[in-house]
Structure 1
């Protein structure tokens, strides 16, 4: 049964706890901590990775794009359990890098958690989830380009985090904010290439 998270700070604590006894932390370990069967925590996790300093590591935005694509396509096809390739699950970082990223996210997570609450729930129910998954697929397709536009992957991470949190907390207002952030990031990319 997937772990249920009441907020962002609790998710970060759960990830930190799951990595406590390892020198390196693989994607598989983190996904097992958040729940490989649940779309919202997976989306939230990818968003947090992209929003954190880890997005500055070359190739991380593209790897996260693949993860989002694999999950959103399976969700849109109606699968209940997500399959991910072993080469992706084996990707790892040092426990110290993960710890620094989680520390960096701690204060923003506490701040965000104070504002989360169920509202405008129709935006995050079944049809809303399909719209969110479709938009996240589009973001994922653009992420490799975002490695060329400074800060765009970080802003995309903010949008993915907001979508994930909206689904976790059943907060439709946060989904509306995520739609606005998504529009902004695509405007930023269009401005860079036009």
Structure 2
């Protein structure tokens, strides 16, 4: 799984790039630094990076900030842009580098295993039309991430991670996994909505009986 690191211009694995970002000095890791490391055309790697960030156990509202860059990137992918672009003011969005080091330590073994297993296949799922559909799905998943829902970040973040892996590696199997997890996210949201509606209705009935 190789990509171009613009600062050096040489091929580099995704796991190597994130290791270098974690090893750099500085208290915070900013979005601008991530975009510069992966390059202007690295939709998949940068989205995968933020998918990892959103897999962390954030408190309610924590993914509102970490999910916002994913929402922007997803909209660009759905629109069919060839080059990654972020507004200058968003480049200052950051996460503590110490937190990022812990995150990478947790996922690095899995990342390296993924690099060995993934490969180009089922190309029709990662073509221009397929990427447009992936972008639309990721817009939905990013909106879910932005909502302040306790524990609601893991499933959509993993789905975005598989979609991003599919875009990076042209791996249609990873894209299929992303679609299955997107369907699971929809099912969980529907179930949660039904429970909330039923609870509110039951509450009003209970108050009515007391009154």
**Partner Cα separation in structure 1 for residue 112 and residue 62 of structure 2:** 25
Residue 57 of structure 1: how far off its partner (Å): 4.9
Residue 72 of structure 1: how far off its partner (Å): 2.5
Q: Does 1:174 align with 2:174?
A: yes
Q: TM-score, normalised by structure 1?
A: 0.84
Question: Equivalences for 1:21-170 in 2 at 5 Å?
Answer: 21-51=25-55, 53=56, 55-145=57-147, 147-150=148-151, 152-170=152-170
**Partner Cα separation in structure 1 for residue 79 and residue 120 of structure 2:** 27
Higher relative contact order (CA 8 A, sep 6+): 1
**Partner Cα separation in structure 2 for residue 64 and residue 36 of structure 1:** 20
Whether the 8 Å CA contact 2:160–2:178 is kept in 1: the answer is yes
What SS does the corresponding residue of 2:185 show, helix, strand or coil? Answer: helix
**Partner Cα separation in structure 1 for residue 87 and residue 110 of structure 2:** 32
Give the paired residue count: 185
Give ranges in structure 2 of 5+ residues lacking alignment: 6-11, 195-211
Residue 83 of structure 1: how far off its partner (Å): 3.1
Structure-2 residue corresponding to 1:187: 187
Residue 75 of structure 1: how far off its partner (Å): 3.1
Residue 163 of structure 1: how far off its partner (Å): 0.4
What SS does the corresponding residue of 2:95 show, helix, strand or coil? Answer: strand
Q: TM-score, normalised by structure 2?
A: 0.78
